[in-house]
Amino acid sequence: MAIPSELFEAQAEHDISTNRFASQLSNQVLPFLDELAIFYRQRILTEDLTVRNKTRFKQVLRDIEQKTKEVTQAYTEMMLTELREFGQLEAAFAVDSAQSVLAGNVLLSSPDNQRLWAAVLNEPMLIGKDFAGIDFDKFTKSFSESQVEKMGEIVRGGYFTGLTNQEIVMAMTGKKVGKNFVGGQLEITRNAADYVVRTSINHIATQSRLSVYDDNDDIISGYRIIATLDFRTSATCRGFDQKVVKNTDKYKPHPPFHPRCRTTVIPELIERPLDNSGFTRPSKFDGEVPASTQYYQALKGASAAKQDQVLGKVRGEMFRGSGLSVEKFRSLMTDRMGDPLTLAEMAKKNDTVLKWLKDSGNGQYI
């Protein structure tokens, strides 16, 4: 298994562009939210929503739910159109970046657009509890469904608890601060759109690249999982960082590992070694580090304060003082599926952890 440093560099630059695209697509929800806010105010403030007028209340509720469904579905459809094009661009990037480091007579193939999107739709997103698969189509549609439900709950709850029309509207829209809404359900809707966009982009990017890798398994022998070396990286992604997955492996973990996951994959090219002297990767802990540095190796060179910020105080102390190797500590932080382990579970799994917790006065955790 091997990977040239040029691919590391290309991926790092590409991730910046992908993040900008995610922000742009997420922000495109704002005009849709403005449309909803205007409709909610006009529809509710002109009505008599009192307990005595149940017929009018039911009509307002139907109108609110219908308009919410109409607008949120319109945003979802727009988002999916752009995401489908993004998937094609990701596949092209996977081919071009790998092609650039191969000999001129070696040509990579790319799956057609229909097969690419089929992979996106058919491969479950492993972001549920215990890596339970979530259908991508249902995941994107849930955005509209959840907002319809939430807005309906606000109107019904306000009606039956005697809130004024103005109070109901405020619960729905909050206040407009700049381009955003603050203090109401629309603020949650805004966050939900960002959640769906960023998680979807990671899923589509991964599936597009894996499709290319599968089509060229005579040249690409697998992929390497690359996490971000900073304070926001999850325990799951920290553990999977630098994991090499072979084409022949039965268990093939891949991002997104959780909502808004930033972890990515890069191809392992046959007989092209990763040259640490030729490239480094950025680290928020200690500046630049060699390209093959694993997350916990990078964290080892950070200050105690930074280690505690990532791991928490008890795990930070254990990381520094238990005598566990970096690799052993890494393996004990999560289970095989990448789910974080509690201190008690770590102690049950390893006698060194058990002894350290007792000797250090942290026995209450077991």
The model's pLDDT over 277-330, given as tens digits with 9 standing for 90+, comes to: 467 788 898 788 888 899 999 999 899 999 999 999 999 999 999 999 999 999
209 and 126 both lie in a single domain: yes
Averaged pLDDT score across all residues of the chain: 90
pLDDT reported for residue 276 = 46
Q: Are 321 and 181 in a shared domain?
A: no
pLDDT band per the 50, 70, 90 thresholds, residue 128: low
Predicted local confidence at residue 133, as pLDDT: 77
Higher-pLDDT residue of 147 and 126 is 147
Indicate if 205 and 126 belong to the same structural domain.
yes
| Among 23-37, 190-204, 226-240, 274-288, the least confident range | 274-288
Q: How far apart are CA 295 and CA 233, in angstroms?
A: 9
Domain closes at, from 239, 270, 292: 239
Question: Considering its fold, how many domains does the chain have in total?
Answer: 2
User: Do 42 and 185 fall within a single domain?
Assistant: yes
Q: How many CA atoms lie within 13 A of 340 on its CB side?
A: 11
Q: Which has the closest alpha carbon to 127: 264, 262, 258, 265?
A: 258
Asked whether residue 271 is assigned to any structural domain, the reply reads no
In a domain, 93, yes or no: yes
Do 218 and 345 reside in the same domain of the chain?
no
Provide the domain limits for residue 129: 5-239
Asked whether residue 274 carries a pLDDT value surpassing 70, the answer given is: no
On whether both 197 and 339 belong to a single domain, the answer is no
Q: Which of 208, 239, 270 is the last residue of a domain?
A: 239
Any domain includes 88: yes
Instruction: Determine if residue 178 is left, alpha or beta; phi over 0 gives left, psi from -120 to 50 gives alpha, anything else beta.
Output: left
Same domain, yes or no: 33 and 141: yes
Q: Is the predicted pLDDT of residue 140 greater than 90, yes or no?
A: yes
Do both 225 and 310 map to the same domain? no
Q: Is residue 259 part of a domain?
A: no
Q: Region 185-214: what's the mean pLDDT?
A: 96
Whether residues 99 and 173 share a domain: the answer is yes
Domain contains 258: no
Do 337 and 356 meet the contact criterion of CB atoms below 8 Å apart? no
Read off the pTM: 0.90
Cα 165 from Cα 45, distance rounded (Å)? 6
Kindly give the residue spans of alpha helices, DSSP state H, lying in the chain: 5-27, 30-45, 54-99, 113-122, 136-160, 165-173, 185-215, 235-240, 295-300, 304-311, 313-321, 326-333, 343-349, 351-359
The band of 98, judged by pLDDT with boundaries at 50, 70 and 90, is confident
Q: Is residue 283 domain-resident?
A: no
Look at residue 38 and give its three-state secondary structure.
helix
In the listed set 239, 256, 282, which residue is the last one of a domain according to the structure? 239
**pLDDT above 70 covers what percent of the chain?**
93
Q: Is residue 267 part of a domain?
A: no
Sign, CA torsion 111/116/122/123: positive
On whether both 97 and 171 belong to a single domain, the answer is yes
CA distance 215 to 97: 15
Per-residue model confidence (pLDDT) at position 319: 95
At 277 the pLDDT is: 46
Same domain, 167 and 26: yes
Residues 110 and 24 in one domain: yes
Report if residue 273 sits inside a domain: no
